[in-house]
Amino acid sequence: MTADHPSPSSPAAAAVAPPARRRTAYGKETWKEISFLLLNLPTALVGFVYAVTSVVVGVALSVTVVGLPLLAAGLAGARGIGRSERARARGLLDVEVAEPSPLPRAGGALPWLWTRLKDPVAWRTQLYGLIRLPWGVVTFSVTLVSLVALWPVLPFIARGLAAADRGMVRGLLSPSDELERRIAELESDRGVVVDTAAADLRRIERDLHDGAQARLVALAMGLGLAKEKLHEDPDAAAAMVAEAHGEVKLALQELRDLARGIHPAVLTDRGLGAALSSLAGRCTVPATVTVDLDERPAEAIEGITYFTVSELLQNVSKHARARSASVEVWRAKDRLLLQVRDDGVGGARLDGGGTGLAGLAERLGAVDGVLVVESPEGGPTTVTAELPWRARRG
């Protein structure tokens, strides 16, 4: 099963990919690489002197009170050198290297000291500074000689040396460790979660204001009028009370629907099987539900599963023009999987179409979930979602 977006190697991707631009021997890219190689020596000299001085002085004086603070300050400054080298590589070698996450703010001298001393980004930058000096001498000398004596092959020499530089920058100056990648993902996901929560709060506020609140205000006014007419016209007052009784029933139904939209009681009381069967019963297309779980997942995962199926079945009702649908939920090791199928017209896409699948994919991604859509024109449509499995406490 594949998503709607073609893989880079697929024929579909090749059909839409822009044609590769031919690189001339002495084009702009070559001159940028030559500039980078010629600058290697002065920048490597600065980095080497800084790395040796800061590390040697800090380690040598570590038996005194000032040694470790000096070493920590040197590591903090190494981050600045790494930032300038990443900028130089981006500007001259077109290497897109993400900036590492900033160090957390530490309250107090000891936490600040310990955070800097165990900073892997700074230590990798210091290592980069140490190994760059001999490499800088080689690249500067070879490039300078090639400019004078090896002019015809200079572009190829520059390209090979620059490729090695790109590898060093990516290997030592990029936030390549798993923790850095995870921090970047969580920072991105946090924004999605905050936006989704704000949108849900606005929806609840709007539903209360336009629905139950307005109905209750009208009910209070009707009861006030009935109270005034109670002695003058008992029959009219009785009719108004009967009308108010009907309004109370409608208001209660609206509040139940709103509560079900926040968290349905049947999900809390009876679990996913009963809750999803209730959703299938409200779907305009006949839908079957199969839930194969040995135990109930955590409340948060259970709620996300419920609302994911709810939105997918709403899409089936509104857009699919299907004759039947099915919902399956099961567990595979540490993942909870759900799949919604329909035999409708197909054409559902993650990148548009008004079905809300893109927003659903973002909300699932915020909790380490994945949404995959397979919906060729003419159908059928299969939507598969994966969520992390977390066991219910208690």
pLDDT in tens, 323-360: 999 999 999 888 899 999 999 888 888 776 555 787 78
With a pLDDT cut of 70, the percent of the chain lying above it is 78
Nearest-5° angle of CA 113, CA 114, CA 120? 110
By the 10 Å C-beta count (0-12 exposed, 13-18 middle, 19+ buried), 277 is classed as middle
pLDDT at 127: 92
Separation CA 157–CA 211 (nearest Å): 73
User: For the ranges 118-132, 140-154, 176-190, 273-287, which has the lowest average pLDDT?
Assistant: 176-190
**Residue 81: pLDDT band by 50, 70, 90 thresholds?**
very high
Cβ atoms of residues 313 and 276 within 8 Å: no
The more confident residue out of 302 and 366 is: 302
The answer, yes or no, to whether residue 89 has pLDDT greater than 70, is yes
Taking all residues of the chain, what is their mean pLDDT, rounded to a whole number? 79
pLDDT of residue 45: 94
User: Could you tell me how many residues make up the chain?
Assistant: 394
* H or E segment and range at residue 331: strand 325-332
pLDDT score of 181: 57
Segment 244-250 mean pLDDT = 73
Q: How sure is the predictor about 20, in pLDDT bands with cuts at 50, 70 and 90?
A: very low
pLDDT, residue 394, reads: 60
Phi, psi of 362 (to 5 degrees): -65, -45
What distances in angstroms separate CA 129 from CA 37, 73, 125, 138, one per listed residue?
Answer: 15, 16, 6, 15
Amino acid at 265: A
Question: Residue 213: pLDDT band by 50, 70, 90 thresholds?
Answer: low
C-alpha to C-alpha distances, 348 to 3, 13, 269, 370, 378, nearest whole angstrom: 11, 19, 34, 16, 10
Give the 3-state secondary structure of residue 54.
helix
Portion of the chain with pLDDT greater than 90, in percent: 17
